[in-house]
Amino acid sequence: MEPLHPDKLPTHLAIIMDGNGRWAQQRMLKRIVGHQRGAETVKMVVEQASQLGIKYLTLFAFSSENWSRPPIEVRALMTLLKKYIRRETARMMRNNIRYNIIGNRSDLPEDVNQTLDEATLETAGNTGMVLTLALSYGGRQEISMAAARMARDMVAGKLSADDVTVDTFAEYLDTGGLPDPDFLIRTSGEMRISNFLLWQLAYTELYFTETNWPDFTINEFHKALADFQSRERRFGKTSDQITKRN
């Protein structure tokens, strides 16, 4: 496995977990079997990230656009999500991990919301990694809803137009309080963002791998993190400024 510097890990890692359906179809299996196998990869990545000391892990689990999939797949995904959360909460407690949910909760089925509320409440006091699940999430939807919330606060006299800065705007997003991701991994070979964290990814290092999510192993995970550690994050500065630390 690639050696990792413990002090150069991303503070916030975000993942677009893609390729479950193709993984299954290549094996003549139903797409849902791919999602079930994908859930095993989630377990591994969550455990690894928390053990490595990554503070924030955000997983794209279901997009606003995924509602357009065949209803049978949508239903199966919701059931799988509920089962996963129920089954894993004890492990989250043991590993001191706190759940956080972003996305349009009002579109999710009632029973899923109830499970999410229970898991969020139960893990609320945990002080280790924050595991954010993006569910019924779309970046553009999030940004427009933030704008609507700001408009309401302005009408209520709680906010003035002069207060609108990059930092205050960020506080109105679902991710308010979370740092921006340092590193984004997308599996399955697609080179796009698919409406994920549009605002927050402004300066994130991007990593794409051909591997489908169910095949993403611990070795590949470490390889991706090692790749992150080899990058020079300049944030608009020159390389000299970064290496000479001024």
Select the binding partner of residue 63 from ligand IPE, Mg ion, none (C-beta < 5 to 8 A, by kind): ligand IPE
Task: Give the residue from 17, 64, 69 showing the smallest Cα distance to 42.
Answer: 17
Question: Smallest distance from the beta carbon of 224 to Mg ion, in angstroms?
Answer: 18
Length of the chain: 246
Take residue 135 and report the two structure tokens written for it.
């569910």
Nearer to Mg ion, 18 or 142 (CB): 18
Q: How many residues form the binding site for Mg ion (CB under 5 A)?
A: 1
With respect to ligand IPE, which residue has the nearer C-beta, 122 or 215?
A: 215
Q: Judged by CB under 5 A, which of 18, 88, 174, 182 binds Mg ion?
A: 18
59/146 with CB nearer ligand IPE? 59
Cβ nearer to Mg ion, comparing 61 with 173: 61
The site partner of 225 among Mg ion, ligand IPE, none (C-beta below 5 to 8 Å per kind) is: none
CA–CA separation, 184 and 243 (whole Å): 24
Q: How far is the CB of 137 from ligand IPE (least distance, A)?
A: 8
Helix (H, G, I), strand (E, B) or coil at 77: helix
For the CB of residue 45, give the shortest distance to ligand IPE in the complex, in Å.
13
240 flagged as catalytic: no
Return the one option of ligand IPE, Mg ion, none that residue 194 interacts with (CB less than 5 to 8 A, by type): ligand IPE
Tell me the CA distances in angstroms from 212 to 16, 35, 63, 116, 179, one per residue in order: 11, 11, 18, 27, 27
Q: Is 18 a catalytic residue?
A: yes
Contact 12, 181 (CB under 8 A): yes
d(CA 147, CA 239): 36
Give the binding site for ligand IPE (CB under 6 A). 16-22, 60-63, 65-66, 77, 188, 190, 192, 194
Which one of 66, 104, 126, 195 is the catalytic residue? 66
Please give the structure tokens belonging to residue 229.
């550690």
The CB-of-242 to Mg ion minimum distance in angstroms stands at: 35
What is the spatial distance between Cα 11 and Cα 194, in angstroms, rounded to a whole number?
23
Residues 246 and 242: their CA atoms lie apart, in Å, by: 7
Residue nearest to Mg ion (CB): 18
**15 binds Mg ion per the rule CB under 5 A:** no
Strand partners, 58: 14, 132
The partner in contact with residue 173, picked from Mg ion, ligand IPE, none with C-beta cut-offs of 5 to 8 angstroms by kind, is none
Tokens of 221: 């995970």
Q: Which does 216 bind (CB under 5 to 8 A by kind): Mg ion, ligand IPE, none?
A: none
From residue 153, alpha-carbon distances to 104, 138, 150, 156, 207 in Å are: 20, 23, 5, 5, 38
CB 176 within 8 A of CB 170: yes
Residues that bind Mg ion (CB under 5 A): 18
Catalytically active residues, by annotation: 18, 66
